[in-house]
């Protein structure tokens, strides 16, 4: 009986590790120029994000704080752009998995301000976790199909 239990426990552990992997995928996108990026964090980082239940309390990181963090990060990342204007704000739960339930992040889209007007074409995005940290985008290279 112990051997059966140990075998089942090992199988469940391997399955959980394969399911959760070494990263937590937030999302990916492809811009108008065909450049694809993804936003991922480690499971350890995900577990440190403060929990939030929207119907019960205000978010642990206010929208004003998230915008300030994103604006500072964008100005460092794109020093040639002098000003940004928010075009869209999304609040999203990290994952529907119970392990990361009630952990959230802000996705903030910005337009560049050029000559006093919003510049079009480029998408400037910042992802700010509810712990106040920014998620750096990574190139999203599509997986090659398995060869036969």
Q: Above 70 in pLDDT, residue 83?
A: yes
Please list the residues that pair with 139 across neighbouring strands: 37
Can you give the pLDDT at residue 144? 59
- Given a cut of 70, whether residue 141 has pLDDT beyond it is yes
pLDDT at 12 over 80: no
- Give Cα 66 distance to the centre of its chain: 13
- pTM score: 0.78
| Total count of domains within the chain | 1
Residue 67, in any domain of the structure: yes
Tell me the mean pLDDT in the region 41-54: 95
- The verdict on residue 95 lying in a domain is yes
- Which residue in 42, 28, 50, 38 sits closest to 101, CA to CA? 50
Q: Does the residue 35 lie in any domain?
A: yes
Q: Does 12 fall in a domain?
A: no
| pLDDT number for residue 53 | 95
What range does the domain containing 119 cover? Answer: 22-139
Across the chain, mean pLDDT equals 82
Residue 16: inside a domain, yes or no? no
144 falls within a domain: no
Tell which residue, 133, 144, 137, 109, has the closest CA to residue 123. Answer: 109
- Residue 73 CB neighbours (<10 A): 18
The verdict on residue 8 lying in a domain is no
């Amino acid at each position: 009986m112990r051997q059966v239990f140990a075998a089942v426990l090992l199988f469940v552990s391997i399955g959980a590790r394969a399911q959760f992997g070494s990263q937590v995928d937030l999302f990916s996108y492809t811009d108008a120029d065909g450049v694809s990026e993804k936003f991922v964090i480690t499971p350890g980082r995900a577990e440190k994000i403060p929990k939030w239940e929207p119907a019960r309390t205000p978010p642990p990181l206010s929208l004003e704080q998230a915008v300030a963090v994103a604006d500072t990060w964008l100005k460092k990342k794109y020093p040639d752009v002098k000003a940004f204007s928010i075009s869209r704000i999304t609040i999203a739960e990290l994952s529907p998995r119970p392990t990361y339930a009630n952990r959230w992040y802000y996705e903030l889209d910005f337009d560049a301000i050029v000559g006093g007007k919003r510049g079009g074409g480029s998408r400037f995005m910042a992802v700010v976790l509810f712990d106040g940290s920014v998620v750096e985008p990574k190139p999203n290279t599509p997986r090659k199909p398995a060869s036969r």
